[in-house]
Amino acid sequence: MSTFNELIIFIRKEVNRDLKRLPIPKRPVYLYEPIRFALSGNGKRFRPILVHLAGRANNADPESLMKIALAIELLHNFTLVHDDIMDNDNMRHGQAAVHSKWDESTAILAGDGINAIAQILLSGIPDRSNAICRFFNQATLEVCEGQALDKEFENDLSITEDQYLEMIEKKTGSLLGACSALSATLVGADQEVINHFDQFGRALGNGFQIHDDLLEIYGNPNEMGKSLGSDIAEGKQTMMVIKARNLFGKEWGEIIGDPNRIDFMDKIRSFFTENGIENETKGLAQTYFDLARNSLEKIDGINCSELFDFVNLVETRSY
Amino acid sequence: MSTFNELIIFIRKEVNRDLKRLPIPKRPVYLYEPIRFALSGNGKRFRPILVHLAGRANNADPESLMKIALAIELLHNFTLVHDDIMDNDNMRHGQAAVHSKWDESTAILAGDGINAIAQILLSGIPDRSNAICRFFNQATLEVCEGQALDKEFENDLSITEDQYLEMIEKKTGSLLGACSALSATLVGADQEVINHFDQFGRALGNGFQIHDDLLEIYGNPNEMGKSLGSDIAEGKQTMMVIKARNLFGKEWGEIIGDPNRIDFMDKIRSFFTENGIENETKGLAQTYFDLARNSLEKIDGINCSELFDFVNLVETRSY
């Protein structure tokens, strides 16, 4: 295993250890049991790992960095708990979603509590905490905007590729931008450098999401830990679906009209591949990963080699 | 009209003006239209008024004070929007609740967005913002704990007066404690002084809530802007209900068993009055208001006269 992969595993372990050490009370059970459950899920910890890698590049104080990393992971989990209610998703990371294990009220309150704990963590950072809190919560609001667009797009067959890209940048890119830029904010970097880190994270996030759309079709269901294509069967918009609908409306309508047929996924796969949609979408993800690298190249005097390695890792991930 | 009442009206106007001036974008409509709607409600602005009065006593910077006042009002509204979903309440301040005007997903996201805007406001305070953010979000978490207890207590007929008091202190008292103590934190007061302000607000909050329980039974429905007793008919626990159940189980069970009878409210009222429950509960509210005054008296060297006036106002309010 490469040194870089070992580093990633090490950071994930540290994050999981410190997540478990958060002083979450036992009572009221109604609030804290679902919170503990939500945080014990088998997440990839992709976002706090990015916080740590960007923080290493910025020579940031490790203790403050871990607070940011945990706050980001809590924020991510709070939005997942609430999004799963809104999107009626019953499974998350291979276990029941909070609202399906308990009920909607429990899940609403658990999400609110997780967010409050994230903010309390941030308030423990001694340096530049105002700028950090502002960046963090502007990203939170932008994630809410992304989720709002996602809800507006449901059942809207006129959505364009540009609208989809705006939505995923808000829903996924903005938070990865924060993961990447917050340590630059912490060390008091110039605004231009902070912006480059933000742009890097946003491009990486968009690439990540489009790559995710591809894995949802072409991934290995065993590695992914779920059955493939369920989002598409439920009418969710992805880059490939939008391309198919806008370029091949009639043929696509016939395929998507019968999601229960046994060879539904085979049909979808070969449709995307034969019509060049698979390659176009791979090319678009590639464009974003390259954009992420370009942003890193603009940052002078900082060793971003681990962030380049991270782009490679994300680009080639199979689950 | 007394000078103090004019001051209250003036502060309420200022708060409403600045709430309207918050730079809330137009799009995405799914997120921001419900947020604007929730904030346009006809609230009493009780909490931001308390922030300003305590801030005047503490000689706090007016600009930072208004940020705290608005953030507190936003926090309060975010919890109301979410609580109304959990409690299935369809009306709020004489207008439809967000989840009944739109739907639950919209209301979940609107609450999350309002909270993010509150945090962004707080991050604009130049002095001691870490301590302020910590206090603010610990209060938020405690409000969540109070709501959790409230949900745990539903349909639990073993709840005692002490458990009820713990619940309302978390759900209402903790936030009024923050309203009162945050300006002391802002000016860098000693921890002992901050604690007195916190205790003052908590006692005021408990008195306020018990007084509210009384108004729900003995208030003027025209002034209250709603029909009375609906909470009791739905089985909600209040101090009077708990006393009635624990002291006069059988008789109380007979009355509460038939909430649809036309003289239900008359029966309830005379039951509470004749059995001394009205007076006992009034005495308990009085005890908390006196406790609030005692906390103010412990604060040396600060002119708390407006806060004493405020206790009087809350104590005698009829809606």
* Residues B120-141 pLDDT 10s: 999 999 989 999 999 999 999 9
**Triad A201, A183, A22: Cα angle to 5°:** 100
Residue A1 has pLDDT above 70, yes or no: no
Helices A191-218 and A174-186 cross at an angle (nearest 10°) of: 150
What local confidence, expressed as pLDDT, does residue A230 receive? 75
What local confidence, expressed as pLDDT, does residue B230 receive? 75
Torsions phi, psi for B268 (to 5 deg): -60, -50
A145 touches chain B (CB under 8 A): yes
Q: How far apart are the first and last CA of chain A?
A: 18
* Residues B34-57 pLDDT 10s: 999 999 988 899 999 999 999 999
Residue A43 has pLDDT above 90, yes or no: no
Eight-class DSSP state of A157: T
Work out the number of other CB atoms within 10 angstroms of the CB of residue B297. Answer: 11
Judging contacts by C-beta atoms under 8 Å, the chain B residues touching residue A131 are 123
**Domain A3-316 falls in which CATH fold?**
Farnesyl Diphosphate Synthase (1.10.600)
Q: How confident is the model at residue A226 (pLDDT cuts 50, 70, 90)?
A: low
* Residues A51-93 pLDDT 10s: 999 999 999 999 999 999 999 999 999 999 999 999 988 888 8
Judging contacts by C-beta atoms under 8 Å, the chain B residues touching residue A130 are 123-126, 129
What local confidence, expressed as pLDDT, does residue B304 receive? 97
Interface test mutation site (partner B, options A22, A26, A31, max chain B beta carbons within 10 A):
A31
- The closest of B25, B21, B7, B15 to B45, measured between CA atoms, is B15
The verdict on a CB contact (< 8 Å) between A147 and B117 is: no
Residues composing chain B = 319
What local confidence, expressed as pLDDT, does residue B225 receive? 58
What local confidence, expressed as pLDDT, does residue A2 receive? 85
- The closest of B111, B11, B146 to B69, measured between CA atoms, is B11
Contact A242, A160 (CB under 8 A): yes
B299 touches chain A (CB under 8 A): no
**Triad B103, B106, B109: Cα angle to 5°:** 145
**Triad B299, B71, B69: Cα angle to 5°:** 45
What local confidence, expressed as pLDDT, does residue B171 receive? 97
Residue B142 has pLDDT above 70, yes or no: yes
* Residues B51-75 pLDDT 10s: 999 999 999 999 999 999 999 999 9
What local confidence, expressed as pLDDT, does residue A118 receive? 98
- The closest of B175, B244, B160 to B206, measured between CA atoms, is B175
- The closest of B286, B317, B308 to B53, measured between CA atoms, is B308
User: Which residue is closest to A123 within chain B, CA to CA?
Assistant: B130
What local confidence, expressed as pLDDT, does residue A89 receive? 87
pLDDT, mean of residues A92-121 = 95
Share of chain A above pLDDT 90, in %: 84
Contact B167, B150 (CB under 8 A): yes
d(CA B164, CA B148): 12
Select the residue of A133, A144, A145 nearest B133 (Cβ to Cβ). Answer: A133
The verdict on a CB contact (< 8 Å) between A30 and B148 is: yes
Interface test mutation site (partner A, options B31, B150, B167, max chain A beta carbons within 10 A):
B31
User: Which residue is closest to A27 within chain B, CA to CA?
Assistant: B145
Share of chain B above pLDDT 70, in %: 98
Contact B132, B107 (CB under 8 A): no
- What element of type H or E holds B102? none
Q: How confident is the model at residue A227 (pLDDT cuts 50, 70, 90)?
A: low
Contact B52, B11 (CB under 8 A): yes
Q: Which amino acid is at B216?
A: E
Task: Calculate the average pLDDT of chain B.
Answer: 94
* Residues B169-215 pLDDT 10s: 999 999 999 999 999 999 999 999 999 999 999 999 999 999 999 99
A residues 85-144 near B, CB within 8 Å? 85-86, 104-106, 108-109, 111-113, 115-117, 119-120, 122-126, 129-131, 133-134, 136-138, 140-141, 144
pLDDT, mean of residues B272-288 = 97
What local confidence, expressed as pLDDT, does residue B226 receive? 62
A74 touches chain B (CB under 8 A): no
pLDDT, mean of residues B151-169 = 95
Residue A29 has pLDDT above 90, yes or no: yes
d(CA B53, CA B192): 19
What local confidence, expressed as pLDDT, does residue B155 receive? 84
**A3-7, A153-157, B179-183, B230-234: which range is least confident on average?**
B230-234
pLDDT, mean of residues A254-280 = 92
What local confidence, expressed as pLDDT, does residue A314 receive? 96
CA distances (Å), B158 to each of A316, B240, B248, B249, B256, in order? 58, 14, 14, 11, 16
* Residues B257-272 pLDDT 10s: 888 888 888 999 999 9
Cα atoms in the 13 Å half-sphere on the side-chain side of B133: 34
Using CB atoms within 10 Å of the CB of residue A261, give its burial: 0 to 12 exposed, 13 to 18 middle, 19+ buried. Answer: exposed
Q: How confident is the model at residue B224 (pLDDT cuts 50, 70, 90)?
A: low
**A27-41, A100-114, B87-101: which range is least confident on average?**
B87-101
Residues composing chain A = 319
Select the residue of A120, A130, A144 nearest B138 (Cβ to Cβ). Answer: A120
Contact B55, B14 (CB under 8 A): no
CA distances (Å), A29 to each of A34, A40, A106, A145, A173, in order? 8, 16, 10, 31, 34
Task: Calculate the average pLDDT of chain A.
Answer: 94
pTM: 0.96
Residue B106 has pLDDT above 70, yes or no: yes
Which superfamily does CATH assign the domain made up of B3-315 to? Farnesyl Diphosphate Synthase (1.10.600.10)
B residues 10-29 near A, CB within 8 Å? 28-29
The verdict on a CB contact (< 8 Å) between B144 and A112 is: yes
